[in-house]
Amino acid sequence: MNICVVGTGYVGLVTGACLADFGMTVLCVDKDEAKIAALQAGRIPIYEPGLEEIVAKNQRAGRLRFTTDLKSGIQSALAIFIAVGTPPRPDGAPDLTFVRQVAEAIAEHMNGYKVVVTKSTVPTGTGRMIEQILRSNDGDREFSVVSNPEFLREGSAIADFLRPDRIVIGASDARAIEVMKEVYGPLFLAETPFVITDVASAELIKYASNGFLAVKISFINEIARLCELMGADVHDVSRGMGLDRRIGSRFLLAGPGFGGSCFPKDTAAAVDLARQHGYRFRIIESAICVNAETKARMIEKIAAAAGPLAGRTVGVLGLSFKPETDDIRESPALAVISDLVAAGASVRAFDPAAMENARALFPDLYYATDAYDCATGVDVLVLATEWNEFRALDFGRLAKLMRSRTVVDLRNVYEPRELRAGGWSYTGVGRS
Ligand code: NAD
């Protein structure tokens, strides 16, 4: 089957490459000419483990191609996946300009039956909007609109796409569902659960899922706060809670608050969506509020550990919003850096993949060559993103490089007792 994927960002590129790997013939379209030129030349514009290999393999096999020509993408495909960005507007609602533009282009160029699939995260009602746009040029055209929200996580996107917990398909006609089952044939045969529903429910499943996960993170961050006030250890509390299968241990790790391109945007969108329907989504409002407080609290921890920050030098390990990605959108590490700079501290930073992106926002930081270079001459070392290579640092070596043995572990990666026994001042999140 011929497929067109519009938008070759974190979601679109992974979707295109993985669908090609399923045996589909995929044309990926983006309006960003530099991105497409890089992809045509075999260069991957983002850091995502395993992506380069799967793109190269399917490019070689002739199943995966890249273009800026949206018209040819639309006309050559039976299924068109919309995977463009839906960034937040100042009022919290997602900006659907790019989705609308793609729908208008499909309306203009479609040349036969098309299944138009929304992979971008969009509010309930967007399917109906796309349908109206597609009908606008000629009321008799044949098409189906499908919602197929994506749940992949950056850093493990390929594995998540190839082995998802479920595939959600929101459609209103049997013909579209058959096309979608063919697209996801290998997953269907592997007995991946398929949730087949109406378009509005599928659109809401994505916001409900991300909203719930955000609540879980904010919940444990409030427990961490209580632990600090009461002298308990959130590590043990979280383990004790998470082993209850009704709760589960995932997304129950205290830290500097949630970030990334999805949770902040999708929680704001869920609140806005509810508001538009005359309802206050109080649980998600609270999760957002707790998250803002959690992020803001991190600078206080650093100041409590290191003393007044003006004139101090702080080493920050990790810049991306999570490990194994170069994505810095809404990264808690950058919030910490911004607060450190505002407090008059000098920052030395290191990240295995995200330094180029961070440099565009913070050109004046010192970008180190590795964790030890980052720690050289600093008054305090802050672990902001838990890349694996930061888990097994040589603290003996660090002690010789740093001005003071002070570590602030915003990801609760290190063992407080061990570090304290080694003469370190250790501060975690919610650890007594
Ligand atoms: P991104 O910003 O990395 O990529 C979007 C791409 O769309 C860009 O390359 C942009 O140039 C392109 N684009 C925009 N308008 C276009 C147009 N008219 N024609 C062609 N290309 C166009 O975004 P992303 O992180 O891949 O997210 C895409 C969508 O998927 C969003 O709605 C997001 O919420 C959702 N999502 C993201 C993730 C994630 O982890 N990043 C996970 C699940 C869902």
Q: What is the pLDDT of residue 27?
A: 98
The pair of structure tokens assigned to 170 is: 């929101």
80 CB contacts (<8 Å, ≥6 apart)?
Answer: 3, 4, 5, 6, 73, 74, 106, 114, 115, 116, 117
Residue 171's pLDDT band, with cuts at 50, 70 and 90, is: very high
pLDDT band at 341 (very low <50, low <70, confident <90, very high): very high
CA of 12, closest atom in ligand 1? 26
Nearest ligand 1 atom to the CA of 7 is 7
- Answer for the pair 77, 4: CB distance below 8 angstroms, yes or no: yes
Distance 16 CA to ligand 1 centre (A): 12
- Please give the helix or strand (H or E) that residue 206 lies within, else none: helix 199-230
Q: pLDDT tens digits, residue range 91-105? A: 999 999 999 999 999
Domains of the chain, with CATH numbers?
A: 2-197 (3.40.50.720), 212-427 (3.40.50.720)
CA 261 to ligand 1 centroid distance, Å: 10
Asked if 175 and 112 count as a contact pair (C-beta separation under 8 A), the reply is no
Substitution candidate for ligand 1 out of 261, 266, 320 with most atoms within 8 A of CB: 261
Please list every protein residue whose CB sits less than 6 Å from any atom of ligand 1. 6-12, 29-32, 35, 70, 83-86, 98, 101-102, 120-121, 150, 152, 154, 261-262
Q: What percent of the chain has pLDDT over 90?
A: 97
Q: What are 359-375's pLDDT values in tens digits?
A: 999 999 999 999 999 99
Length of the chain: 432
Single-letter residue type at 392: A
Q: Catalytic one among 4, 227, 262, 374?
A: 262
Cα R_g (the chain), whole angstroms: 23
Sign for the CA dihedral angle at 290, 254, 388, 55 comes to: negative
> What is the per-residue pLDDT for 94?
96
Which is the closest atom of ligand 1 to the Cα of 94? Answer: 32
Whole-number pLDDT of residue 2: 98
State in Å: Cα 98 to ligand 1 middle. Answer: 9
- Provide the pLDDT for residue 139: 64
Q: Write down the mean pLDDT value for the chain.
A: 97
Helices (H), 93-137: 97-109, 126-136
* E strand residue ranges, 203-339: 313-317
Q: Where are the beta strands (DSSP E) in 11-76?
A: 25-29, 64-67
How do 64-67 and 366-367 pair as beta strands?
unpaired
pLDDT in tens, 57-73: 999 999 999 999 999 99
Q: Are 153 and 11 in contact (CB under 8 A)?
A: no
**pLDDT for residue 137:** 74
Burial (Cβ within 10 Å: 0-12, 13-18, ≥19) of residue 337: buried
Beta strand residue intervals within 84-223, DSSP E: 114-118, 143-147, 167-170, 194-197
Pairing of strands 79-82, 2-6: parallel
Cβ contacts of 166 within 8 Å, gap of 6 or more: 151, 192, 193, 194, 195
pTM of the model: 0.96
Instruction: Find the 138 Cα to ligand 1 centroid distance in Å.
Output: 28
Q: Is the dihedral of CA 72, 76, 78, 81 positive or negative?
A: negative
Residues 6+ apart with CB under 8 A from 324: 47, 48, 49, 154, 155, 156, 353, 387
Structure tokens at 243: 């082993």
Q: Which of 11, 48, 96, 148 to mutate to test the pocket of ligand 1 (most atoms within 8 A of CB)?
A: 11
C-beta separation of 317 from 350 below 8 A: yes
User: Please, which pLDDT band fits residue 307 given cuts at 50, 70 and 90?
Assistant: very high
Q: If you measure from the C-alpha of residue 359 to the centroid of ligand 1, how many angstroms do you get, rounded to a whole number?
A: 22
* Ligand 1 atom 41 nearest Cα: 10
- Which is the closest atom of ligand 1 to the Cα of 261? 41
Q: How many Å apart are CA 412 and CA 389, to the nearest integer?
A: 15
CB of 261 closer than 8 Å to CB of 330: yes
Cα separation, 92 vs 266, whole angstroms = 9
Tokens of 399: 């002690």
CB 92 within 8 A of CB 273: no
Contact by Cβ (8 Å): 146, 118 = yes
Atom of ligand 1 nearest to the CA of 266: 34
Q: Would you call 28 a catalytic residue per the annotation?
A: no
What residue's CA is closest to ligand 1, atom 10?
Answer: 7
Ligand 1 centre and the CA of 409: distance in Å? 32
H-only helix segments in 343-415: 355-361, 371-375, 395-401
Is there a contact between 29 and 69 (Cβ–Cβ < 8 Å)? Answer: yes
Task: With beta carbons less than 8 A apart as the criterion, state whether 14 and 161 touch.
Answer: yes
